[in-house]
């Protein structure tokens, strides 16, 4: 049983509950549980990573342990799905040992293929299309810092990548406005934008994709950026860095946003490229609270998916 969480669309109906649960789980850290057995007692979770990770790997292993379960990390060396092994075979095999799979992959289609073959829940730990665990953690952080989500404005400035796609869906589901500013050849995935616009009609969110970074930052509550070159795109580094320079988040960008705006970045960050150190190391930056919240949000994600 259980439920795959491969996209923000998989939490469309319970995103508010996931955030509420994350808040509760965060408040319980360090407190003695009154329950007889922890929620993931005797559960084993596979952490399957085709790409490097600091936050996702570390926060998932700590989350599983704090929930009373155990995890096994398999990194790029061992994984080699698609080369050494068909994704469907890997999904079937791991289902015989584990109770859930947390999977970071190059391609979204591999995640879907492995999840379809697996008989246990699969959680997307980032692929080329989405990073849902990041978006849930980020909404938890914004909710915490801004005292709510509905009607707030997130300006995403930079590459229309996996993180941007998941934030678009998350904001559209929850009723938060989001304006993306990216170069015209690096806009977010068109199907995701259409889906976000459709969801926004129901939630009342405003979703817009523009090319002018200052227009996006105008009156924003949150200014968000991510790397210009995602994992797997290393060959495009030189070309992308030239195109993206006008999208660098600087104190001038932050000055367009609300006076109490915060700066967010999923990390890892490159100071001097997508953001200046004055901003990411400045007083408006909440990137380390944001990174911490991955832990709390992923606990809620694990529980929701393994219910
Ligand atoms: N933000 C994030 O997912 O970081 P890692 O790539 O280090 O896991
Ligand atoms: N967009 C980045 C996010 C890293 C957490 C990447 O895919 O590399």
The answer to whether the CB of 290 is under 6 A from ligand 2 is no
Kindly provide the residue ranges of all beta strands, DSSP E only, lying in 172-261, ordered along the sequence.
177-181, 207-210, 222-225
Share of the chain above pLDDT 90, in %: 94
* Nearest Cα residue to atom 2 of ligand 2: 230
Q: What is the pLDDT of residue 14?
A: 97
Domains assigned to the chain: 33-129 (3.40.50.1370), 134-290 (3.40.50.1370)
Cα 54 to middle of ligand 1, angstroms: 6
Cα 201 to middle of ligand 1, angstroms: 31
Contact (Cβ atoms closer than 8 angstroms) between residue 46 and residue 114:
no
Cα 216 to middle of ligand 1, angstroms: 25
pLDDT tens, position by position, 141-188: 999 999 999 999 999 999 999 999 999 999 999 999 999 999 999 999
The answer to whether the CB of 113 is under 6 A from ligand 2 is no
Query: Quick one: angle between helices 87-97 and 108-117, nearest 10?
Result: 50
In angstroms, rounded to a whole number, what is the distance separating the alpha carbons of residues 127 and 103? 9
Ligand 1 binding site (Cβ under 6 Å of any ligand atom):
53-56, 126, 134, 266-268
Contact (Cβ atoms closer than 8 angstroms) between residue 149 and residue 139:
yes
Residues involved in catalysis: 104, 131, 134, 226, 266, 294
Cα 35 to middle of ligand 1, angstroms: 32
In angstroms, rounded to a whole number, what is the distance separating the alpha carbons of residues 167 and 245? 22
Q: Above 60 in pLDDT, residue 197?
A: yes
Mean pLDDT of the region 120-129? 98
In angstroms, rounded to a whole number, what is the distance separating the alpha carbons of residues 213 and 180? 8
* Nearest Cα residue to atom 3 of ligand 2: 230
User: Is the model's pTM score more than 0.95?
Assistant: yes
Q: What is the pLDDT of residue 2?
A: 79
Q: Above 90 in pLDDT, residue 133?
A: yes
pLDDT tens, position by position, 256-281: 999 999 999 999 999 999 999 999 99
Q: Which of 35-39, 86-90, 194-198, 261-265 shows the lowest per-residue confidence on average (mean pLDDT)?
A: 35-39
Phi–psi pair at 271, nearest 5 degrees = -65, 135
Q: Above 80 in pLDDT, residue 5?
A: yes
Q: Above 60 in pLDDT, residue 1?
A: no
């Amino acid at each position: 049983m259980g439920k795959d969480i491969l996209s923000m669309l998989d939490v469309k109906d319970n995103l508010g509950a996931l955030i509420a649960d994350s808040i509760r789980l965060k408040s319980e850290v360090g407190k003695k549980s009154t329950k007889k057995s922890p929620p993931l007692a005797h559960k084993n979770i596979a952490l399957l990573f085709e790409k490097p990770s600091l936050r996702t790997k570390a926060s998932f292993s700590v989350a599983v342990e704090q929930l009373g379960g155990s995890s096994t990390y398999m990194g790029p060396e061992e994984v080699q799905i698609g080369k050494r092994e068909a994704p469907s075979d890997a999904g079937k095999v791991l289902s015989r040992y584990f109770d859930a799979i947390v999977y970071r992959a190059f391609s979204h289609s591999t995640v879907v293929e492995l999840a379809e073959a697996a008989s246990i829940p699969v959680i997307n730990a980032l692929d080329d299309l989405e990073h849902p665990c990041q978006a849930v953690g980020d909404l938890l952080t914004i909710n915490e810092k801004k005292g709510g989500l509905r009607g707030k404005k997130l300006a995403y400035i930079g590459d229309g990548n996996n993180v941007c796609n998941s934030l678009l869906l998350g904001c559209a589901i929850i009723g938060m406005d989001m304006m993306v500013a990216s170069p015209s050849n690096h806009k977010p995935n068109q199907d995701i934008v259409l889906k976000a616009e459709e969801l926004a009609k129901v939630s009342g969110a405003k979703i817009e994709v523009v090319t002018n970074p200052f227009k996006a930052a105008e009156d924003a509550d949150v200014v968000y950026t991510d790397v210009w070159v995602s994992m797997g795109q290393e060959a495009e580094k030189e070309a992308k860095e030239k195109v993206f320079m006008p999208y660098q988040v600087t104190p001038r960008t932050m000055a367009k946003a609300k006076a109490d705006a915060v700066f967010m970045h999923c990390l890892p960050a490159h100071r001097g490229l997508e953001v200046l150190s004055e901003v990411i190391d400045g007083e408006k930056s909440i990137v380390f609270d944001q990174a911490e919240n991955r832990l709390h949000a992923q606990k809620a994600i694990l529980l929701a998916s393994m219910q």
